[in-house]
Amino acid sequence: MSIRGVRLLVVLVAGLALVGCTQAVGGGGASADGPATAAGEPVAELPVLSSRYAVDETDGQPVAVRVDLNEVRVIEQVLQVTFTARNTNAPARGDAPPGRWQVADFFGDGVAAADALDAVDGVYVVDPVHTTRHLPGRNPDGQCLCSGGLTDVSVLPGDGAVLTATFAAPTPDVQVVNVHVPRVGEFTGVRVER
């Protein structure tokens, strides 16, 4: 399914499901710094607004991870955040195993409720104008409107997986937001496309 097709599906589902997904942020302001592609599918080149780095040592073999923030866009009444999670380890040599990165719960919030642990439900957006934190939207069953099933997504060195999370749209006066991605930190001052 194309990114445009995913957006349309997200708008239709999210329009019915976004309820109670905003939290107030303490203090005077916020400061600080769709579906995943299936394993083996090529990742389309998307624009890169900014990148942040982390290391996943969950399985014992460290994997250098780069997260490229691709887009923060309002579509109808929702805000969709799209990012690419890349395995930046060097390719294996000779007969060595390929060094796949199992995305799994790397971007999860760590809480197993209606969501499985392997979703990107830990991503959130901060609206610095109204000092609110927007959590991912939920469907009527309480599941995150975000990429999930990431235990089945493994990324070879040099490849990436495109991931999305959907939120209630900020008011039109909000021109920039901060996007927090678990384990890699916060992308600040990101322009909202409308």
Half-sphere exposure of 94 (CA within 13 A, CB side): 2
Structural domain for 61, as ranges:
3-191
**Span 10-21, mean pLDDT?**
41
pTM tops 0.85, yes or no: no
Average pLDDT over residues 155-175: 96
Mean pLDDT of 111-138: 90
Q: Spell 56-77 as b/e; 16+ CB within 10 A means b.
A: beeeeeebebbbbbbbbbbbee
| Element at 179 (helix H, strand E) | strand 176-181
Q: What is the pLDDT of residues 31-72, one digit of tens each?
A: 222 344 444 455 558 999 999 999 999 877 899 999 999 999
pLDDT at 86: 97
What share of the chain has pLDDT > 70, as a percent? 73
Q: What per-residue confidence (pLDDT) applies to 67? A: 98
The count of structural domains within the chain is 1
Closest CA to 163 of 137, 145, 143, 187: 145
pLDDT at 151 over 60: yes
- Looking from the CA of 160 toward its CB, the CA atoms found within 13 Å total 20
At 58 the pLDDT is 86
At 114 the pLDDT is 67
Mean pLDDT of 16-24: 38
Residue 13 above 50 pLDDT?
no
pLDDT of 19: 37
Q: Is the pLDDT of residue 152 over 60?
A: yes
Q: How confident is the model at residue 117 (pLDDT cuts 50, 70, 90)?
A: confident
